[in-house]
Chains A and B, each alone.
Chain A
Amino acid sequence: MSEPLIRAEGVTKVFRQGELEVHALRGVDLTVGVGEFSALAGPSGCGKTTLLNLIGALDEPSGGVLSVAGQDVTQLARGDAADFRLDHVGFVFQAYNLVPVLTAYENAEFTLLLRGASREERRTVVEPLLERVGLGGLFERKPHELSGGQQQRVAVVRALATSPSIVLADEPTANLDSTASAGLLDLMLELNQELGTTFLFATHDELVLERAKRVVRMLDGRVDEDIWD
């Protein structure tokens, strides 16, 4: 069997707040394979975001083994971590996903721009994707001129534009009504099937869990249950 996309063994994370130590992750074992459409679930504070941040190299684990896309992400230098994110990870956050001064189109092409893609290269990737997620005609809108659902779609396009190894989506539907949530999730599922992109969610939204092929339930910083569809 080939190396899984994500391999976590005994991953721990301790936050220090003055004298206080918060054990956010207490030894997580998890593997995620290519093409999965999976969700981390569990009560608030159980460590979903923390784990997602470690996988996305936004933060460093305190202990354990963690490799993503064949790269050991436990001890990346700050700049290398940024490069790693640009090369391998697409992010969709709960809110404040978009750069306020950039238009929908500029936000969508932002990661490609960071990669140094030419204007033409960016256009051939971003335009069809924006059309595909139903944002044709809204290219020039600023984020505040878009609905919450539309903003999240722009973020999805931006995440997919670089053909990342994995898209990490932390509560992407938390600020949306159920119709918008369902629309966004169906779209992501379709893209997962069309493009084969791996998606990993952190959520407690039932709409996500319904669609996920695998739900990893966490409790107190550990994996509690791993349920495949």
Chain B
Amino acid sequence: MLPRLAWRNLWRQRTRTLILISAVTFSYALLLVAMGVGDDSHQQMLDAAVEGAGGDVLVHRDGYWSTLAADLVLPDGLAVAERARGVEGVAEAIPRIRLPALVSTADGARAVDLLAVDPLVEEALVDIHEHLVEGERLDATALESPILLGIRMAEDLETEVGGRVVLTASGWDGELTRALFRVAGFLETGIREVDETLAYTTLQAAWGALGDSATVTQVGVLVQEGTDVEVLAEALREGLGRDGVPVEVLTWRQAVPEMVGFIETDDAFLYIYAAVMFVVVAFAIANTFLVAVTERVREFGLLNALGLRGRRIGVLVLVETAVLTLVAVGVGFAIALAGHLAIDHWGIPIAIWGMEDMELAGVNISDMVMRSQITTSKWIVATVAVMVTTVGSAVFAAVKAARLVPAEAMRFYE
């Protein structure tokens, strides 16, 4: 009976109810969509940052990550990778060399971020050939000492596929080393800065140039699904730190703190928006229902006189808000879901905001397409929060209605 009465009571003041419902509906839907887009772009940025850093957990010579000093290396990197693979929860351990270097031809020289990888193992983290526009893959070429170059750099240096370049870098001993490489192909990401500095080679070729056969600067570790990164990092510290050179083991949180910080700040802004929204909605509801109770004092007095207990009259008011909330949440959820699906399907390229070369915490996101993802727990929390806020803000009005003294309430309009 109470729901039926509540439902009809709501529609007595149709405009007022519709305004309230729309307010709740749209702020709720907006919150969900904002969370969907936010969570997805954060995920993308984080993925990009983790990819750029080299893995979920990074193993270096102690002190390397903060200084990138060329002499802080893992002399027996392959063995470190092999031991890491033996640790429970490790999906893959990827040895690689990161080295600032100079690539030169007769037409000039360019500074590059050289990455020497095992192309097959690297595949587990990132497809380095995704942007190959010309030439051959590192794992398919017959060239000796092959190198892939960013297309803009290649154009500046006027090289072509199969052409020779000279790589100059500081060797493990600090001495300058020069070596001849052959251009296997060009990479084009579309991001100017990347296309000007990107260079990939194989570990074998790098070792050939540097005169070594086991040293790496980093072992990137990928964790198995469902593994706690912190726990795994601790296990790696235990397993790798015991003998040999001192190592540092960093989780992605520690490896890309700027990105983690940026995401946390961004989320915080969303929560602030949500809090402000909740306060506004709560205020509107509390106010409207107080007015509604005042308008209906005579009627509540009648219901009470007829034998409806005060507490149930309070419940009636709460049921009215609950019904209003359910309608708003239902419609709002449908709108949010439609928005989520549309955004996820078509995507919003970040480029439409005209930001070229946009970089966030060291990750270039100018080619990012914002999509949407549902973080179930967050959507549930938001939904419960909306319901609790709306129904909760009518409690004051409900208590007032429940406490009416029938004799006085009935005199109200006499």
Q: Does B120 belong to the interface (CB within 8 Å)?
A: no
CB-defined contacts of A201 to chain B, threshold 8 Å: none
The 10 closest A-B pairs by CB, nearest first: A86-B307, A101-B8, A59-B407, A58-B407, A82-B309, A53-B407, A58-B406, A85-B307, A79-B309, A114-B307
Q: A59-B405, A93-B302, A96-B299 are in contact. Are A82 and B5 (CB under 8 A)?
A: no
* Contact yes or no, A96 B302, CB < 8 A: yes
Residue of A nearest to B306 (CB): A111
Q: Does A37 belong to the interface (CB within 8 Å)?
A: no
* Cβ of B300 to closest chain A Cβ, rounded Å: 10
The one of B303, B307, B413 that contacts A99, using a Cβ cutoff of 8 Å: B303
Residue of A nearest to B313 (CB): A82
Q: Does A220 belong to the interface (CB within 8 Å)?
A: no
Q: A59-B405, A78-B310 are in contact. Are A99 and B5 (CB under 8 A)?
A: yes
What band does the interface of chain A fall in when counting residues whose beta carbon is under 8 Å from B?
20 to 34
Residue of B nearest to A81 (CB): B406
The CA of A101 and the CA of B10, in the complex, are separated in Å by 10
* Contact yes or no, B308 A114, CB < 8 A: yes
* Contact yes or no, B306 A110, CB < 8 A: yes
CB-defined contacts of A99 to chain B, threshold 8 Å: 5, 299, 302-303
The CA of A101 and the CA of B410, in the complex, are separated in Å by 18
The CA of A166 and the CA of B361, in the complex, are separated in Å by 80
* Cβ of B281 to closest chain A Cβ, rounded Å: 25
The CA of A99 and the CA of B301, in the complex, are separated in Å by 11
Q: Majority SS of interface residues in chain B? A: helix
| B278-308 interface code vs A (CB 8 A; 1 in, 0 out) | 0000000000000000000011001111111
The CA of A91 and the CA of B407, in the complex, are separated in Å by 12
Q: Does A185 belong to the interface (CB within 8 Å)?
A: no
* Cβ of A164 to closest chain B Cβ, rounded Å: 10
The CA of A10 and the CA of B2, in the complex, are separated in Å by 40
A residues with CB within 8 A of B: 53, 56, 58-59, 78-79, 82-83, 85-87, 91, 93-94, 96-97, 99-102, 110-111, 113-115, 158
Q: Does B1 belong to the interface (CB within 8 Å)?
A: yes
Residue of A nearest to B408 (CB): A59
The CA of A174 and the CA of B405, in the complex, are separated in Å by 24
Residue of A nearest to B307 (CB): A86
* Contact yes or no, A82 B302, CB < 8 A: no
* Cβ of B65 to closest chain A Cβ, rounded Å: 69
* Contact yes or no, A82 B299, CB < 8 A: no
* Contact yes or no, A101 B9, CB < 8 A: yes
- Give 27 CB contacts A-B under 8 Å: A53-B407, A56-B305, A58-B407, A59-B405, A59-B407, A79-B309, A82-B304, A82-B307, A82-B308, A82-B309, A83-B309, A86-B307, A91-B305, A93-B305, A93-B410, A96-B298, A96-B299, A96-B302, A96-B413, A97-B302, A99-B302, A100-B299, A101-B5, A101-B9, A102-B5, A114-B307, A114-B308
Q: Does B311 belong to the interface (CB within 8 Å)?
A: yes
The CA of A59 and the CA of B411, in the complex, are separated in Å by 12
Q: A99-B299, A114-B306 are in contact. List 12 more A-B contacts (CB 8 A).
A: A59-B407, A82-B309, A82-B310, A85-B307, A86-B307, A91-B306, A93-B410, A96-B298, A99-B5, A99-B303, A101-B12, A113-B1
The CA of A97 and the CA of B299, in the complex, are separated in Å by 9
CB-defined contacts of B308 to chain A, threshold 8 Å: 82, 114
The CA of A101 and the CA of B17, in the complex, are separated in Å by 15
The CA of A97 and the CA of B1, in the complex, are separated in Å by 19
* Cβ of A132 to closest chain B Cβ, rounded Å: 21
The CA of A101 and the CA of B12, in the complex, are separated in Å by 8
CB-defined contacts of A97 to chain B, threshold 8 Å: 302
The CA of A138 and the CA of B77, in the complex, are separated in Å by 92
CB-defined contacts of B311 to chain A, threshold 8 Å: 79
CB-defined contacts of A94 to chain B, threshold 8 Å: 414
* Cβ of A83 to closest chain B Cβ, rounded Å: 7
CB-defined contacts of B414 to chain A, threshold 8 Å: 94
Residue of A nearest to B303 (CB): A99
The CA of A96 and the CA of B411, in the complex, are separated in Å by 11
* Cβ of A8 to closest chain B Cβ, rounded Å: 17
Q: Which of B258-272 contact A (CB under 8 A)?
A: none
The residue among B5, B299, B302, B304 with the most chain A CB atoms within 10 A of its own CB is B302
* Cβ of B27 to closest chain A Cβ, rounded Å: 28
| B390-414 interface code vs A (CB 8 A; 1 in, 0 out) | 0000000000000001110010011
CB-defined contacts of B8 to chain A, threshold 8 Å: 101-102
CB-defined contacts of B413 to chain A, threshold 8 Å: 96
CB-defined contacts of A101 to chain B, threshold 8 Å: 5, 8-9, 12
* Cβ of B306 to closest chain A Cβ, rounded Å: 6
